[in-house]
Amino acid sequence: MGWGETRRQLADAWKWSELHTAAATAALQVPVFWLIAWLTTINDDDYGSGINALAGAVLLLVLVLLPFLTTLYAALFTMPTLVLARVAARRLRGPEWLWQLGAVILVSVCWVLVMAGWSAPVPALLGATGMLTAFALLPLLAVAYARRRARIKGRAWGFFGVWLRSAAATFGLCVLIVGGAIAATFAGLLKEYEPPTLSAEQLTGVWHGDGGAVLNLRAGGRVEFTDLPLEDPDGWESVRCDGTGTWTVDRGDAYAGEGPEERDGVVVRLDGGCGEQTYWTIGGTEHDPELFVLFGDPDAGDLRILKKK
């Protein structure tokens, strides 16, 4: 088989109508997956930050640029997969869908290695490869359906036709997911996160954090700490301190507004030295409690978490 025949096969394998079909299908998945991911984290502690303005702006920008981003994705990922599978099926025989499965895994591995490099941990590489492969399956199925439909009806979907179908399907799926989430909320199957209410006895003990931070809340209200992040009196940043002091439990009223949504917390006051008193908000669960503080900008601050051992 000469180069001319190979070039003809490559030209036949790369269809611009299929590029738009793959891009529109990939675009359909993004808001649906984002909505599902958001619903699965509704019972997680947001540590008082919520969806900040920067994250909202990034999400809006991604949605605006989504057609361009998914078209680039289809050109660099879906179409090379289709071309490899179709050329292999014609030259080596066998079902094209099986070649597509092998090609999509191969292309996924190549892009993961390009983006992450050979030095990344093997579990991370396998996980990223699996995610890329899974994300590519629906666009490949949509292209196969569009190709079969074009053979039967004699014409392929146009650019606007495929994107209008994608927008309608995205809207319908999002409405269905939100409706299901509302129904699950009324049925008690989906609940928002509620922080635990801990007594002074439950809070008493040694709490550990990153960087060797230790907070020892003793019975009677005394506290000892080592490398503990505390509020810098000269700014919004944190400083690490060693020392002693006192602690009290706040039920969200005495220091209203200091903790996220006026949640229960622990107020640590210093006997002296660096830093200022710091409000450690109670988070986690009753069986796995946490103390956390968010230094600096609430939208993009420095989050520090302590866990009890």
Domain ranges of the chain: 3-186, 200-308
Under CATH, what is the fold of the domain 200-308?
Lipocalin (2.40.128)
- Are 43 and 191 spatial neighbours (Cβ–Cβ below 8 Å)? yes
Give burial (CB, 10 Å; 0-12/13-18/19+) of 235. exposed
Per-residue pLDDT of the chain (309 residues; tens, 9 = 90+): 455 555 665 556 677 788 899 999 999 898 888 888 878 877 777 776 655 555 556 666 667 788 899 999 999 999 999 888 888 888 888 888 889 999 999 999 999 988 887 777 888 888 989 999 999 999 999 998 888 888 887 777 788 888 988 889 988 888 888 888 888 888 877 787 888 889 999 999 999 988 889 999 999 889 999 888 887 766 666 778 888 889 999 886 544 444 455 688 999 888 876 767 788 999 888 889 999 988 766 656 678 899 987
- Are 225 and 238 spatial neighbours (Cβ–Cβ below 8 Å)? no
DSSP-assigned beta bridge partners for residue 268? 247, 278
Q: What is the per-residue burial (b if ≥16 Cβ within 10 Å, else e) of 205-225? A: eebebeeebbbbbeeeeebeb
**DSSP strand E in 93-209: where?**
205-209
